[in-house]
Chains A and B, each alone.
Chain A
Amino acid sequence: MLRERLLIFLKTILLAATILFLAVAVFGTLGLRNRLLDDGPAEPADWNSRQFEESVTALNTEFSEHWEKLGLTPAPEAPVFTLARRLSLALAGTVPSLEELRALEAQPPQQQLDWWLDRLLADARVSDYLAERFTRAWVGVENGPFLAYRRRRFVLWLSEQLRRNRPYDALVHELLTAEGLWTNQPAVNFVTATIQEGQPDAVRLAGRTARAFLGVRIDCLQCHDDHLGTIRLGDPPELREGTQRDFHRLAAFFSGVRVSGLGVHDRIAPYRVQLLGDNSEQVLAPAPPFLIDRLPAQGASRERLAEWVTHPENRAFARAIVNRVWGLMFGRPLVEPVDDIPLAGPYPPGLERLAEDFIRHGYDLHRLIRMIAHSAPFLRDSRAEFPLSEEHEKHWAAFPLTRLRPEQVAGAVIQSCSLTALDDHANIFERLAYYSQTNQFVRRYGDRGEDEFHDPGGTIPQRLLLMNGELVREQTRARSWGTAAARIAAAARDEQQAVRAAYLAVLSRLPSPTEEERFTEMLRKRGKRKRAAALEDLYWVLLNSTEFSWNH
């Protein structure tokens, strides 16, 4: 008797707990959450001032003159949903949610782009994503020497700096000079990522510094002078051939950096190297490969280097980041490869002006992103009523079509199968699913590692993964509770509304009249009972389109 009662009691508790859990989960997913924005960037941002507008106008004039000279008619302006999709992909690595698009639509047309940028730049998803992309360039994709290097901590720290919009020169200054432990001074991981044989590697640090912060590839000079005429150093207009000495004098700035139980610190250590063709080693004094008179005469080695790298007259520093951010936003940098920008030009339209603006306005990354988002090339559509050629894309008179990166595709699959935004405020189950599924998918889709803008090709496995892969299967399953396909099927007033919702959620646009007619008809034919399965089919079709896997 007692046992039976106890059993009934336990069953009741279990049932109550299940109901409670379901209720929480349902409200967590379906209920509208009051989404408070995070702390915004460290203002004052002058991006909405007249001065900002004038800078944008000047930038755009450069492009329109360029197009006119080449006789190219620019593509018309892209619809705002397309712009929103581009920005979300570039800055958050995913597509906008249906809910976000509806909110955007409700804004006054003139303010829509800035409203969208405001939201994104204050969103922790954006700083997290950008931090990951920058980390690839600055410390690589490997997890490196385990004890002295904490990649994850570095990314989190960087994300925080980006969200607060710390001036870029101060950020890089800290990376180049930081001291202390990798755990509580995350910036030192820039140094400890290069540890070999127990100590940081001055040679790798020099190569990274040159590529990431100056946009020059001088790694070849490690072993020999440049006999091929591909590396030009010195100061414009009189550049000279790069030499092995150039490389090692840059490396010499890092010769005293050491790691001990107390973390990264510096001591005074002369840099010794045996140059090719020499019989013995020599000591080289640190010196930069150009703009040598801007190197402070006094101070600790890394301090002097950081001062020189971030000096306002060192335009290579600004060009490198402008080119990289442009690449992030378009999928293609202004100068290719992204880290090989000539010191004396010629430069494509936009680059010098953006670099100048960046220096003049306190190395403000948010401002740079806003400038590019308002630039005439970014606003162009990728289609037109007249024939578009490759020349249009090459000269930014039409938005270039680029293949999405693996994590963007994964992020977009997961986001489009959930109607509300998967952000920091999404519940933890959603976030966990987000991470594990994304990682698995990204590996299979073919991660590009550090090589940020180089497309390695190989598209059939990508197609197979989207057609038959586990992620798409799970995310579109109509019977599974909580997928967008199932929810739209259950909630849509009629077929037309269902088709529109699916298009907005997956492709961030409304269907064309032909598309709407065709798919409404398909849904109608299948009937209400099979509507969920029909939506599953529609979702599959949209996820497998070129439009979904490409930025446009």
Chain B
Amino acid sequence: MDSMRINRRTFVAGAALWTVAAESLARQAATSNKRPRSIIILWLQGGASQLDTFDPHPESPHSSQVRAVATSAPGIHIADSFERLPELMRHVALVRSVVSREGDHERATYYVKTGYRPDPTLVHPSVGAIVCHQLADDVEIPRHVAIFPGPWPPRGGFLGPQFDAFHVHDPASPVPDVRPFVPRDRLRQRTNELLDVVEREFARGRPANLHERTQHRRSIEQALRMMDSQQLAAFDVMQEPLSVRERYGTSQFGLGCLAALRLVQVGVRCVEVTLDGWDSHANNAEIQRERVKELDPAFAALIEDLQERDLWQDTIILCAGEFGRTPRINRLEGRDHWPHGFCVALAGGAIRGGCAIGESSPDVPEGSEKHWKHVVQPHSIADVHATIFQALGIDYRQQIVTPIGRPIRLCEGEPIRELLAG
């Protein structure tokens, strides 16, 4: 009982401190900018082929008949399976020379989402968790959202599970289970008994960081707050007119991107929307083309609507998968995993659109093991993260002390200066 009381007091004190910190951060934000800044991640789960998307090499003998089309960005060509994006490429920047050393889906996903390679002693936070941690604000719905989360959704890592993403599986329907089935006063009575009696008993004699670890209390409080919030409507894409929805394409992914737009509009910090199915070990050309058909209208409509709704200056879009695909085509007409030079796309007001950084190798040099040596101006994914943090006004170099006492830099990379607008 006593320990519980102390816990509560420290909890309250901690919350107070947190509020002070939040206020100062919010003030900081207020002076530098009028609106919260957000990031939308279009996650291409499985590993999109750079050669069939943003970095076509039709001259290569292994091009799988991909043609390249000119875009509104001078000198930049992308795969001809894109129909609407070419005219918007003047707003999009490409990094065609991202190199990584992770070729397993799980490890590579971890690397690209966190900027760090898997480490048995520490779980790193994903970009969205860092953004939420660094930029405080008072949104009533979850600030970190993952739409169609795959097996490795973005996590808070050592920053704590309160920075884990909120999972949305069906953006076409309203958020489920937000209406209580008893009147409010009875619900309040129930929650009081839960928190005052049963939770207290469970904490007795158990590790002091119990609440922090389970996040049970906090999730209940957040869930209650969310249940009362008007902002919930942001999740409901069906409130958009059909004409708007149609521009995102007919896919679920398109609806997910529209939901991302609406969420960013109410102040959500990070929305990740997953488009699965890029792992084309067989029939690469066909699979990639089908995926691009879903990506293209959604990405294009998102750019247009962010601009139209005056959100462009404060939002960054990152479009990436865990790795690229082999320049060579295998016996099943497929392409295998290729972390040694792949492409990510960035867009948003703080990003200089219409440029491409680096060059990837259109063919595997014979007998070479150090593939990344054949990439012009190679960048780690951490450089891409640093660019994003810089654009969002986050000090990417700051040290954070991890729970195991080891100080670690928020991001190990350096911003790619050419990508930052003015």
Which residues of chain A have a CB within 8 Å of any CB of chain B?
196-197, 217, 219-220, 222-225, 227-228, 276-277, 279, 336, 382-385, 387-390, 392-393, 401, 403, 443-444, 446, 448-451, 454, 456-465, 467-469, 473, 512, 514-515, 518-519, 522, 537, 540-542, 544-547, 549-550, 552
Contacts and interface: CB of A to CB of B under 8 A. Distances in A.
Contacts of A464: 175-178, 223, 226-227
B166 A542 contact: no
Interface in B59-74: none
Given A403-B214, A459-B219, A469-B177, 4 more contacts: A456-B152, A463-B220, A464-B223, A514-B197
**Nearest 10 pairs between A and B by C-beta?**
A383-B205, A457-B164, A546-B216, A464-B177, A468-B177, A458-B167, A459-B219, A463-B219, A547-B202, A463-B223
Interface string B213-225: 1111101101100
A460 B190 contact: no
A461 B202 contact: no
Interface in B333-373: 336-337, 364, 366-369
B273 to A, nearest CB: 15
Tier of interface size on chain B:
35 or more
A546 B207 contact: no
Given A385-B205, A393-B207, A546-B199, A457 B332 contact: no
B406 to A, nearest CB: 15
A336 B167 CA distance: 25
Most buried by A among B169, B177, B214: B177
B366 A277 contact: yes
B206 A459 contact: no
A473 B180 CA distance: 10
Contacts, number: 164
Given A459-B161, A541-B190, A383 B369 contact: no
A542 B103 contact: no
B208 interface: yes
B245 interface: no
A456 B154 CA distance: 8
Nearest to B404: A390
Contacts of A544: 190, 194, 220
B226 A542 contact: no
Nearest to B366: A277
Interface in B1-55: 1
10 contacts: A277-B368, A458-B146, A459-B215, A461-B177, A464-B226, A515-B197, A515-B201, A546-B199, A546-B202, A547-B202
B219 A460 contact: yes
Nearest to B224: A467
Contacts of B215: 459
Given A458-B146, A515-B198, A541 B193 contact: yes
B186 interface: yes
A388 B207 contact: yes
B153 interface: yes
A7 B193 CA distance: 55
B243 interface: no
Nearest to B189: A537
Given A220-B103, A545-B199, A460 B206 contact: no
A220 B152 CA distance: 18
B150 to A, nearest CB: 9
A52 B366 CA distance: 59
B413 interface: no
A196 B282 contact: yes
B133 interface: no
Contacts of B197: 514-515, 518-519, 541
B405 interface: no
A537 B332 CA distance: 60
Given A401-B214, A460-B222, A277 B367 contact: yes
Interface of B: 1, 101, 103-104, 120, 142, 146, 149, 151-153, 155-156, 161, 164-167, 169, 175-181, 186, 189-190, 193-194, 197-199, 201-202, 204-210, 213-217, 219-220, 222-223, 226-227, 282, 326, 332, 336-337, 364, 366-369
Contacts of A450: 151
Given A462-B219, A463-B223, A515-B198, A390 B207 contact: yes
B111 to A, nearest CB: 12
Contacts of A393: 207
A543 to B, nearest CB: 10
B277 to A, nearest CB: 13
B161 A223 contact: no
B213 A460 contact: no
A362 B422 CA distance: 71
B369 A467 contact: no
B314 to A, nearest CB: 25
Contacts of A387: 207-208
Contact of B369 (A277, A403, A537): A277
Contacts of A276: 364
B205 A460 contact: no
B228 to A, nearest CB: 13
A476 B204 CA distance: 27
A8 to B, nearest CB: 42
A544 B187 CA distance: 12
Most buried by B among A383, A465, A468, A537: A468
A468 B226 CA distance: 13
Contact of A545 (B151, B167, B198, B337): B198
B214 A550 contact: yes
B167 A546 contact: no
A336 B119 CA distance: 12
Contacts of B226: 460, 464
A464 B175 CA distance: 10
A277 B369 CA distance: 8
A449 B153 CA distance: 13
Nearest to A536: B182
B194 A449 contact: no
Nearest to A545: B198
A462 B197 CA distance: 21
A295 B196 CA distance: 63
A550 B153 CA distance: 21
Nearest to A443: B169
Nearest to B103: A220
B88 to A, nearest CB: 32
Given A456-B152, A468-B180, A469-B177, A461 B166 contact: yes
A268 to B, nearest CB: 20
Given A383-B206, A387-B208, A546-B202, A461 B151 contact: no
A158 to B, nearest CB: 23
Contacts of A197: 282, 332
Most buried by A among B166, B178, B197: B197
A279 B152 CA distance: 37
B190 A537 contact: yes
A224 B227 CA distance: 51
Contact of B164 (A459, A515, A552): A459
Given A277-B368, A457-B161, A541-B194, A473 B181 contact: yes
A468 B178 contact: yes
A382 B207 CA distance: 9
A512 B201 contact: yes
B9 to A, nearest CB: 17
A243 B137 CA distance: 50
A468 B202 contact: no
A514 B161 CA distance: 31
